[in-house]
């Protein structure tokens, strides 16, 4: 893959994801043999380059595929937006998983309008941080990256360019 080329076609990304499923698992294993700091340095440079070329508000695929976890502060903000109490907000818009974590319960996201979040400035913390390619310890989060590879063009392009930069044998 040309490291300057950025793929944004979601159908193509989904197709390539299914073809490269085994490759990505092998890449995850390969990453465990590479220095964490080296990988983080490369990932953070790629994150900067790629996010400058991809406008998330023109995609919205994460909002169509994922349910964000909500923290107390998120629930407070969203309940104010809906003009209801936090408890009523949780009852109406949320669900808990087996670990007691609270998530928005609809897919696509209730706040998605077209391809853009209608509460973008007040979106939940997990949405603001997605796809988490700016964070440290990429290797320890590589399974999550593989899961988001088919969903997020940023993750897809970052993983493909990281394979090239680390000279991973496909």
User: The tokens of 84 are what?
Assistant: 């209801």
For residues 124 and 74, membership in a common domain is answered with: yes
CB burial class (10 A; 0-12, 13-18, 19+) of residue 70? Answer: buried
CB atoms within 10 A of CB 160: 24
- Check: pTM over 0.85? Answer yes or no: yes
Q: pLDDT tens across 5-37, in order?
A: 899 999 999 999 999 999 999 999 999 999 999
Instruction: Say whether both 124 and 141 belong to one domain.
Output: no
CA nearest neighbour of 161 among 42, 68, 76: 42
Residues 109 and 137 in one domain: no
Instruction: Note the pLDDT tens digit of each residue in 79-114.
Output: 999 999 999 999 999 999 999 999 999 999 999 999
Is 117 part of any domain?
yes
pLDDT band at residue 170 under the 50/70/90 scheme: confident
Distance CA 155, CA 39 (A): 14
Q: Domain limits at 119? A: 67-129
Q: Phi/psi class of residue 36: alpha, beta or left (left: φ > 0; alpha: ψ in -120 to 50)?
A: alpha
- CB atoms near residue 99 (< 10 Å): 5
Is the residue at 2 inside a domain?
Answer: no
How many domains in the chain?
Answer: 2
* Cα–Cα separations (whole angstroms), residue 131 to 37, 51, 82, 128: 19, 10, 26, 9
Both 16 and 40 in one domain: the answer is yes
Q: Establish if 114 belongs to a structural domain.
A: yes
| 102 lies in some domain | yes
Residues 148 and 94 in one domain: no
Same domain, 87 and 111: yes
């Amino acid at each position: 893959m040309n490291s300057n080329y950025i793929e944004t076609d979601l159908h193509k990304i989904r197709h390539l994801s299914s073809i490269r499923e085994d490759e990505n698992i092998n890449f995850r294993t390969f990453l465990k043999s590479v220095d964490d700091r080296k990988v983080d340095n490369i990932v953070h440079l790629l994150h900067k380059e790629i996010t400058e070329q991809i406008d998330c508000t023109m995609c919205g695929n994460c909002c169509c595929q994922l349910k964000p976890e909500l923290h107390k502060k998120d629930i407070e903000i969203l309940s104010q937006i809906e003009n209801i109490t936090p408890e009523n907000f949780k009852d109406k818009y949320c669900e808990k998983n087996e670990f007691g974590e609270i998530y928005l319960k609809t897919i696509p996201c209730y706040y998605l309008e077209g391809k853009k979040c209608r509460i973008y400035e007040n979106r939940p913390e997990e949405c603001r941080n997605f796809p988490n390619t700016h964070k440290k310890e990429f290797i320890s989060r590589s399974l999550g990256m593989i899961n988001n590879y088919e969903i997020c063009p940023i993750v897809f392009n970052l993983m493909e360019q990281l394979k090239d930069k680390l000279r991973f044998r496909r």
